[in-house]
Amino acid sequence: MKDEHHTNEMLRKSIHIAIGFFAVTLKWLPWRLAAAIAALFVIVNWLVLHRVVGKGVARHERGYDAGIVLYPLAVCILILIFNWHISLAAVAWVILAFGDGSATLAGRAMPIAKLPWNHDKSWGGSLAFLIIGGAAAFGIARFFGSPSLSAIAATVLIAAFVESLPLGLNDNLTVPAAAAATLGVLAIQPFVGELVHPPIAWPWIVVNTVLAFLGFALRTVDVSGLITGWLLGIIVILGGGPPLYVALLAFFIIGTACTRIGYARKARAGLAQEKGGRRGAGHAFANVGVAAICSVACWRGLGLVPLFMGIASLATAAADTAGSEIGQLIGKRAFLPLNFRRVERGTEGAMSIEGTLAGAISALIVAIAGTTMAAHHIRPGFMGTVTIDRTHTIAVVTVCGILGSFIESVTGTFAKNVPNNVMNFFNTAVGAFLFWVAWNFVPMFGFEF
């Protein structure tokens, strides 16, 4: 059985790598046609492929593997995102194909040693990702004539690190997401000449580095959390600037304080954060990933809306973290959000009055920090003269944070087997989306230009 599983994995990853050669076709195919072909394969793989090839390429005993659907879906999204600069889609595609595929094959054939932050991955696999994935990325970049080699090197390095992390998410999602975000920041010039933050952000980068190591010293993050948190902080600084980074700092302080307060008491009740309160890469990406995506949109010069969507996502993360930690500590009556039926503390999706109030206050603090910094920092001349109604904007961001956390609690009562990190990413995405809805559809809300 073990040999059969090994053979299946070898075949599956060989196909995974081979499909990467089709990235060269993006040079000639119209991007709409390429995206349509990738979308077609999503449907075909979902409805047909697992029935035809069965257990030959699937990990699941019933002959189904989510990866065979997520792979073409990731390629389709890459093409849609980078349709104006299709070479970036090709680079991210080959990093997924050759980097991720070779990491698995080499990790099985010559693991060398286990990674200290993830014992399911090895140094041999990571080195293969860097060497083979890097060679493929450099080759496709030269074939298309862009982007710069330094941007390629940084992208491969970050994608390899993300692939090695115990995120609990499929590599067909995390690897192309990391590659796309890095390429978006490093390989593309913004549409606008004026940014909402100074072009040189070295003081903030120094602050981010110091705080990352301080968090590790205070035992609030482990090694993977330190590195991932630092990388996400850099993306936020480069894209969202001080306004979004100050909101991130507010969330970091609130989350750390709420986790640490009464930790021994929560541990005795079996409700405390695992690993002594240390949070890993999965926690960092789940809570800050949406803000990082919004930062990339800011870097692209897409205006103030992505900036405040990022702040709203962090307000949601703060509301959820504070609501859970404080509710488990002092909440006297835990109940389900839809029927108000009383349940035990720690039940998935449960809420308490104390936790809800703590979450609302935390969302308000993050909203005040980010919005105030934005109002102070945005200069006349950025997209004309911009006036931010602080009170109105703070109120909307706070409400988005509270509602995003509430919707996550409602969803949690139905999706009990979904990993916590996935739910955290979901609620931050909801918070950001709610701000976008408010901007577009709530009367009398917006910024004056």
Q: Please, which pLDDT band fits residue 199 given cuts at 50, 70 and 90?
A: low
Question: Is pLDDT at 142 greater than 50 in this prediction?
Answer: yes
pLDDT in the model for residue 192? 41
Cα separation, 326 vs 262, in Å, equals 9
Question: Is pLDDT at 55 greater than 90 in this prediction?
Answer: no
Amino acid at site 32: R
- Looking at every residue in the chain, the average pLDDT score rounds to 80
pLDDT in the model for residue 43? 86
Mean pLDDT across 233-258: 89
* pLDDT tens track for 89-115: 999 999 999 999 899 888 888 878 888
* pLDDT tens track for 63-86: 446 778 889 989 998 998 888 789
- Residue with the bigger pLDDT between 378 and 195: it is 378
Which residues make Cβ contacts (< 8 Å) with residue 224, sequence separation at least 6?
117, 118, 165, 166, 280, 281
pLDDT in the model for residue 333? 75
pLDDT in the model for residue 381? 44
Mean pLDDT across 392-402: 92
Cα separation, 389 vs 399, in Å, equals 16
pLDDT in the model for residue 63? 45
Mean pLDDT across 27-45: 90
pLDDT in the model for residue 61? 45
Name the residue among 441, 355, 368 with its Cα closest to residue 398: 368
The single residue listed with the structure tokens 């009170």 is 391
Question: Is pLDDT at 404 greater than 80 in this prediction?
Answer: yes
* pLDDT tens track for 306-332: 899 999 999 999 999 888 888 777 766
Point out the least confidently predicted range of 37-41, 125-129, 135-139, 283-287. Answer: 283-287
* pLDDT tens track for 264-287: 665 555 554 555 557 777 788 889
Cα separation, 280 vs 275, in Å, equals 9
Alpha helices in 59-113 (DSSP H): 67-81, 86-94, 101-109
Q: Please, which pLDDT band fits residue 1 given cuts at 50, 70 and 90?
A: very low
pLDDT in the model for residue 195? 42
Grouping H, G, I as helix, E, B as strand and the rest as coil, residue 271 is: coil
The single residue listed with the structure tokens 């940014």 is 195
Cα separation, 264 vs 39, in Å, equals 50
Amino acid at site 363: A
- Residue with the bigger pLDDT between 143 and 355: it is 143
Which residues make Cβ contacts (< 8 Å) with residue 42, sequence separation at least 6?
69, 72, 73, 76
Cα separation, 1 vs 20, in Å, equals 29
Cα separation, 30 vs 47, in Å, equals 26
| Both structure tokens of 110 | 């010559």
Cα separation, 296 vs 290, in Å, equals 10
Q: Apex CA 296: angle with CA 244 and CA 95, to 5°?
A: 135
Of all residues in the chain, the percent with pLDDT exceeding 90 is 27
Q: Please, which pLDDT band fits residue 133 given cuts at 50, 70 and 90?
A: very high
Question: Is pLDDT at 124 greater than 60 in this prediction?
Answer: yes
- Total count of residues recorded for the chain: 449
Grouping H, G, I as helix, E, B as strand and the rest as coil, residue 190 is: coil
Q: What is the pTM assigned to this prediction? A: 0.67
* Gap between the terminal Cα atoms of the chain: 66
Cα separation, 255 vs 261, in Å, equals 10
pLDDT in the model for residue 417? 67
| Both structure tokens of 166 | 């115990």
Q: Find how far residue 276's CA is from the centre of its chain.
A: 24
Q: What is the DSSP letter of 386?
A: -
